[in-house]
Structure 1
Amino acid sequence: MQDEEYMRQLSYGNDSALDTLVFRYHKPLYGYVYRLVQDEKLAEDIVQDTFMKIYQQGQKGFVPDSFKPWMYKIASNCCKDYWRKASTKREYFTDEIVEDQGKVYNIIERQLERQWMIDALDQLSPDYRMVLYLRFYQELTYAEIALALEIPLNTVKTWISRGLKQLEGIVIEDERKGAGVNE
């Protein structure tokens, strides 16, 4: 059964439909949220809040056109709400390096699961981090990311491009430090 059908089942009062959605998406959703907030308990709370909102919308009879981007939209908004409430402000690396994007794509493919890559991603602004996590960790298309974050498709493309350029600069700098090259 498709995810949207499970949402329909929720509107009919079949609460067990939510169990299937939780089973399917808890782990990837938790991974996405955890990478954004860097706190296990907070990530779990946000994931729980996300599923609660999904349940509530299902009870009201709402069935999204595409479940997965809609779910990530809810989770992303919950993260944004947390950041707003917590007033967490950090300085972010904003130096852009104009280089071939193909190079950074190759770096991401080779190093996706390495901790230093995650640390490098954490240095990006929340907007760039969200689009890169959704694209490379959750494998959403640009259109699905646009739906999930409620931003125009061209903004998704721009943020991914800029985020990759910044990420490349961070990774190159980390590689220099790791190789003992001093400037």
Structure 2
Amino acid sequence: MIQNNAYIELMKETKQLENSVSKISLRLKTDQQLIQAFLDGNKESIGILVERYQRQLYFLCLRILQDHEDSLELVQKTFIQVMEKLYTLQNHNSFKTWLYRIALNLCHNFLREKQNYNKALSHLSLESSGSFNDPVIQEEQSLLLKEFLEELTEKQRNAILLRIYHNLSYQEIAEIMDCQEVTVRSHFHLGLKKLAGKLKKCGLTL
């Protein structure tokens, strides 16, 4: 009986080890390999993609929604849509931008449904990217940026958010916003120009 129990425990440990090795192996795969594995029936691969991107998506949602619980919910909904629609993604190399687009659209739809879009944007956190060292000036600039950001178009805000906070390329942002790269550059630079102009009137710079 003791030998049987020992054998059962050994088998459990072996199974756990196999699972650990399998998970480590999945973590070493590229996004494209994980996508293909998921489409081939390996459900664990989607969990690795969640681990890989959930933190980035959470902070993207949080900067837009300014609410912890709502952000967690939207991240969850994003990955639910990913699981439901991943088979429709033609180019697996564009997974990251496709993922961001889903999250961004869910956030904006969520805010519109709550009729709280302008209020949420008024609390959008945008840290100073300038060279100020005085914390009082930094705080003043941050508050003004939040206020002036409301006056930009949605596309200008999105371009600035994705470019500054998530360090995405213009090409990636273009895929997320479903427009040409030159259009993204225009939204981004026009938005910054507007912000800079308003700050200049207040004696501040970006």
TM-score by length of 2: 0.66
Maintained 8 Å contact 1:33/1:47 = yes
Provide the aligned length of Structure 1 versus Structure 2.
Answer: 160
The match for 2:176 is 148
1:54 to 77, 82, 85: 82
- Report the alpha carbon displacement of residue 173 of structure 1 after superposing the two structures with TM: 5.7
Maintained 8 Å contact 1:134/1:140 = yes
Q: Which has the larger radius of gyration?
A: 2
- Report the alpha carbon displacement of residue 154 of structure 1 after superposing the two structures with TM: 2.2
Maintained 8 Å contact 2:144/2:199 = no
The match for 1:72 is 100
- Report the alpha carbon displacement of residue 71 of structure 1 after superposing the two structures with TM: 0.8
Maintained 8 Å contact 1:121/1:129 = no
Maintained 8 Å contact 1:11/1:61 = no
- Separation in 2, partners of 1:127, 1:66: 20
Q: Which runs of 4+ in 1 moved over 4 A?
A: 170-176
State the secondary structure of the residue aligned to 2:129: helix
The within-5 A match list for 1:58-137 is 58=86, 60=87, 62=89, 64-90=92-118, 108=129, 110=131, 117=142, 120-121=145-146, 123-124=149-150, 125=152, 126-137=154-165
Give the fraction of aligned pairs with identical amino acids, expressed as a percent. 26
State the secondary structure of the residue aligned to 1:90: helix
TM-score by length of 1: 0.73
5+ residue gaps, structure 2: 1-28, 123-127, 133-137
Asked if 1:4 corresponds to 2:57, the answer is: no
Bigger helix share: 2
- Report the alpha carbon displacement of residue 108 of structure 1 after superposing the two structures with TM: 2.3
